[in-house]
Amino acid sequence: MNIKNIRALALCLGLFMAVLILPSPAHAGWFSDTSCSWTGIGCGTNNPPVVVCGIEYTGIMAIGMRMLGTSNFPCPGPTVNNTPPAPPSTASTLNGTGSTDTTTGTTGTGGTGSESTGSSYTACSSSPNACGMTNLGSLVSGACNAAVPTNSECPAPEISFSASPARVQSGQTTTLNWSATQAVSCALSGGGLSLSGLGLTGSRMSGPITGSTLFTLTCSNGSDGSQKSAQTQVTVIPVYEEI
């Protein structure tokens, strides 16, 4: 029940006491003093004012309030403003060459405040290492500050290596074929061959083969990079003599 309803109820009770049961023995003293009466109902020592929620009630209202019991009256609490403050406006711009951020402050009495922060940059890539890996950086005084990845970061080379034909008659030759990825150069050895600085894809003819010969292809990712080898065996077809 709010305070408005309580006041109305107190007025009704006061009128009820004044009109219907006046003067009952139990409450006759409330009406004995007519110094500030309304329709003959006093507000003196026998019916003192009643203060509820900071408001003083006299006469009929005091009687009604006393009948209700002033401890039962709910007084309204303080008003609390729960509305959050509006945040400052923010603007940001991002493009392909960099980014710029700007924040505007609030306006106060007698002046304005503002704050501006941000940076601009242009992205760039380093030169590739032996296997084509690069690092990202930004231009500083016209030069890219990204370091070239070391060759040791490259994965191991992948190699395909074979001889055709793989079986020859004594004194014949064979063709060695290879292809490699994730490498910068290859070297071939065996059967009298010792070749370096070969491309990642190629073929070479061997010298005359007179016995079983093992050929080795080694490909690497530069001086400090990983390397991998593959081998292929060429055999000689035996010749049988009649006895």
- pLDDT tens column, 13-65: 555 555 454 444 444 454 444 444 444 444 445 567 767 676 776 766 666 66
Closest C-alpha to 237, from 218, 198, 206, 211: 211
- First-residue to last-residue Cα distance in the chain: 132
* Whole-number percent of the chain with pLDDT over 70: 52
Rounded to two decimals, the pTM is 0.46
Both structure tokens of 183 = 């490498």
Domains of the chain: 3-72 (no CATH), 120-149 (no CATH), 158-236 (2.60.40)
What value does the mean pLDDT take over residues 96-102?
41
Tens digits of residue pLDDT in 61-97: 666 666 666 555 566 666 656 666 665 554 444 444 4
Contact, 204 vs 188, CB < 8 A? yes
- Strand ordering across the sheet containing 185-190: 167-168, 227-236, 213-220, 185-190, 193-198
Both structure tokens of 144 = 């890219």
